Amino acid sequence: MWKALRVTVLLLVLATVAQGAWLAKRDATDWDDPLTVVLYPINADGSEAAERYLRALDVARDAPIAEFMADQAEAWGVRVREPVELRLAPRVGSAPPATPAPGNPLAAVAWSLQLRWWAWRNDTYTGARRNVRLFLLYHDDERTPRLPHSTGLEKGLIGVVNVFANPRMSAQNNVVITHEMLHTLGATDKYDLATNQPLHPHGYAEPDRVPLLPQRFAEIMAGRVPVAPGRAEQAESLNGVLIGPLTAREIGWVR
């Protein structure tokens, strides 16, 4: 009897969490009001470089994200003039749970629940409203020239984003942050996970361009500009990025 009761309680909790996640996602992507995206800075490696970067951190450094979303929303006919509002939360003093190795669905589910619990325990934002939480893990690029994989969860509207603590890399950081933000809203990757090459047509910003290559822009969920067969270059800033038709549909800009 007690086992059945525990299972029932667990199912009720999971159902409540699922319903809450569905309602949050629906509110976030109806685009009747601006999306409030809160950025939570974290010194990921304890380095002095990251510490200096965080001391000087200001939400204006990430303003190109809001500008990019406004420009793209206008191009897709979205009514909200400023679809994304960025807020900078006080820094978080602990790191999120480590991402599990790929290929283990049960571990991924457990990690997702652990992350949501950790995010609730470490939410330093005191504002009245937020839709998406992005935890930005800043790394010293001299210590970590290659960043760990970032993750954006649609369930919970939470992102864990690895970025560089270097002002010269802020523009590239914003591409990664925007990519993961859009994952939380339902956008899918549009590149080959084995080769990192954009997939045609949805991973191309201009899939009908003649000649097809080189492309002029990157599709945000591919992150790279295809320039020749089997070769693509990393988008250096949001100035060279577009939101394509499938991504626009996935985030609710196209019905």
Taking only the tens place, the pLDDT of each residue in 131-159 is: 999 999 999 999 999 999 999 999 899 99
pTM: 0.90
Give CA–CA dist 43/178, Å, rounded. 20
CA 144 to chain centre: 20
1 burial type by CB count under 10 A (0-12 exposed, 13-18 middle, 19+ buried): exposed
Give pLDDT tens digits for 153-170.
Answer: 998 999 999 999 999 999
Strands 218-219 and 241-242: parallel
CB atoms within 10 A of CB 89: 21
Q: What percent of the chain has pLDDT over 90?
A: 80
Walk me through the domains of the chain, giving residue ranges and CATH numbers: 24-185 (3.40.390), 187-255 (no CATH)
Residues found in the chain: 255
Best CA proximity match to 37, nearest among 165, 181, 173, 154 = 181
